[in-house]
C-alpha cells in the first residue's frame, strides 16, 4: 500500500494542492501543484487523495485554473480548447491566445491564420490577407483567389462558370464567344486594349489581346507575360506563382486593376524610352569617333 505523500498508478495518496507525477506502477513522491509542471493527463489534487484531471490550481476544494490549452467549463471540469488555441476561456472556441501562425479574431474569438501577405492565405485556400488585422479573411462567393473582399483574381463556381474581370468581379460566362472576343456583361465583344476580361485566343489563357491569326496572346492580363508558345502562363515582374495563378509580391497591395492593355502600354513606353536613350548614345559615339 502506498504511504502518504507518495503515489503510483491508481493509488493516489497525495495531499491537497499536490499532484501525482506518474501514471505508472512505480511509486513516486507527490509534487506541489504550484511548481507548474503538470502536463496533459495529470492533475492537481483539489481534495486529498483525489486528482482533478488537467487541473493546475485549486481553490476551496475545486479546480480554479486549468493547465495550458484547457479551460474550466460550466461543470468545473477542465476541457480542451480548440486545436489552434493556446489558451481559452468560457468555451473551447473562445481563444485568448493562439498557436504560432494564428491570431485571435476579436469578434468570434477564434484562432484564424495569421498572415503578412496574400500568399499566406491563398496557398491554403483561406481567402486573402487583411493587412489591417493581419489575418486571413474569405473571398467573395464564386471566387477561388482574391486580394480583398471585393477584388477577385480567379472566379469559380457552378453559376455558368463565371468569368473574372480585370476589376476583380465575377460575371456570368457568355453563351457563345469566338476567338478574338471577350465577355462583357454577358455579351461577346471584340477584344481590344480596353478589354475587361480574358480575350479568347485559341487555346491560350489570360490573354488581353490576340495576335493577328487569333491563335496566341499578343498581350496578357495584369500579372502575366507570354511564354515561348504565346500563352500567358508566366508571371510578370512583381508577381509570383501561387496555386496556378500569379499574385502580387507586395504584402500590402489590394490587387491591381490594370488591364492587359495598360500593362502592354507600360511595356511599350519603357521600350520607347530605351530606344531613345540607346539612339542618343549611338549618335554621340559616332560623332565623337569622327572628330
Residues 36-62 have pLDDT tens digits of 899 999 999 999 999 999 999 999 999
Please name every residue paired with 152 in a beta bridge, in sequence order, or none if there are none.
Answer: 146
Nearest one of 181, 189, 185, 180 to 167, comparing CA atoms: 185
Q: Are the C-beta atoms of residues 146 and 255 closer than 8 Å to each other?
A: yes
Question: Does the pLDDT of residue 262 top 60, yes or no?
Answer: no
Which of 50, 15, 12, 49 shows the shortest CA–CA distance to 34?
15
Q: In this structure, what C-alpha cell is assigned to residue 156?
A: 469559380
Select the more confidently predicted residue: 4 or 16.
16
Please, is 70 exposed, middle or buried when counting C-beta atoms within 10 Å of its C-beta (0-12, 13-18, 19+)? Answer: buried
Q: For residue 162, with 0-12 CB atoms within 10 Å meaning exposed, 13-18 middle and 19 or more buried, which class applies?
A: buried
Q: Which residues pair with 51 in a beta bridge?
A: 45
pTM of the model: 0.57
pLDDT at site 283: 44
**DSSP secondary structure, 5-46, as one string:** TEEETTEE-PPTTEE----SSS-EE-EEGGG----TT--BEE
Digit-coded pLDDT (tens) for 212-239: 999 999 999 988 999 999 999 999 999 9
User: How sure is the predictor about 282, in pLDDT bands with cuts at 50, 70 and 90?
Assistant: very low
Burial of 97 (0-12, 13-18, 19+ CB in 10 A): middle
Full DSSP string of 71-92: EE-TTS-EEEPPTTEEEE-SST
- Helix and strand totals (H; E) in the chain: 2, 29
Instruction: Give the single-character DSSP code of 127.
Output: -
Q: What is the DSSP-derived secondary structure letter of residue 159?
A: S
Q: Is 136 helix (H, G, I), strand (E, B) or coil?
A: strand
Which set of grid coordinates corresponds to residue 17? Answer: 494542492
Q: What is the pLDDT of residue 175?
A: 81
Domain boundaries, the chain: 6-80, 152-260
Q: Read off the pLDDT of residues 133-167 as tens digits, 9 standing for 90 and up.
A: 888 899 988 888 888 999 888 888 765 568 889 88
Whether residue 91 contacts residue 101, with contact meaning beta carbons closer than 8 Å, is answered with: no
CA atoms within 13 A on the CB side of 111: 19
Grid coordinates belonging to 221:
492580363
Cα–Cα distance, 133 to 266 (Å, whole number): 33
d(CA 198, CA 170): 12
Backbone angles phi, psi at 79, to 5 degrees: -115, 140
Alpha helices in the chain (DSSP H): 118-122, 260-290
Confidence category of residue 193, pLDDT binned at 50, 70, 90: confident
Amino acid at each position: 500500500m502506498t504511504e502518504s505523500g507518495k503515489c503510483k498508478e491508481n493509488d493516489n495518496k497525495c495531499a491537497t494542492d499536490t499532484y501525482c507525477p506518474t501514471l505508472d506502477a512505480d511509486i513516486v513522491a507527490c509534487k506541489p501543484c504550484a511548481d507548474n509542471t503538470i502536463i496533459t493527463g495529470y492533475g492537481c489534487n483539489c481534495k486529498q487523495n483525489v486528482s482533478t484531471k488537467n487541473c493546475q490550481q485549486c481553490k476551496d476544494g475545486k479546480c480554479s485554473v486549468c493547465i495550458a490549452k484547457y479551460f474550466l467549463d460550466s461543470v468545473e471540469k477542465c476541457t480542451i480548447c480548440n486545436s489552434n488555441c493556446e489558451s481559452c476561456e468560457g468555451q473551447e472556441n473562445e481563444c485568448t491566445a493562439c498557436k504560432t501562425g494564428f491570431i485571435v479574431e476579436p469578434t468570434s474569438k477564434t484562432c484564424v491564420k495569421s498572415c503578412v501577405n496574400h500568399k499566406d492565405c491563398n496557398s491554403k485556400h483561406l481567402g486573402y490577407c487583411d493587412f489591417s488585422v493581419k489575418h486571413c479573411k474569405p473571398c467573395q462567393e464564386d471566387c477561388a483567389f482574391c486580394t480583398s473582399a471585393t477584388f477577385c483574381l480567379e472566379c469559380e463556381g457552378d453559376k455558368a462558370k463565371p468569368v473574372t474581370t480585370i476589376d476583380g468581379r465575377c460575371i456570368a460566362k457568355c453563351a457563345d464567344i469566338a476567338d478574338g472576343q471577350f465577355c462583357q456583361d454577358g455579351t461577346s465583344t471584340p477584344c481590344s486594349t480596353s478589354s475587361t476580361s480574358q480575350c479568347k485566343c485559341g487555346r491560350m489563357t489570360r490573354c488581353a489581346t490576340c495576335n493577328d491569326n487569333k491563335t496566341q496572346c499578343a498581350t496578357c492580363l495584369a500579372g502575366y507575360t507570354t511564354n515561348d508558345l504565346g500563352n500567358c502562363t508566366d508571371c510578370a515582374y512583381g508577381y509570383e506563382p501561387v496555386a496556378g495563378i500569379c499574385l502580387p509580391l507586395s504584402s500590402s497591395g489590394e490587387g491591381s486593376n490594370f488591364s492587359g492593355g495598360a500593362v502592354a502600354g507600360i511595356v511599350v513606353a519603357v521600350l520607347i524610352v530605351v530606344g531613345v536613350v540607346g539612339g542618343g548614345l549611338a549618335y554621340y559615339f559616332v560623332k565623337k569617333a569622327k572628330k
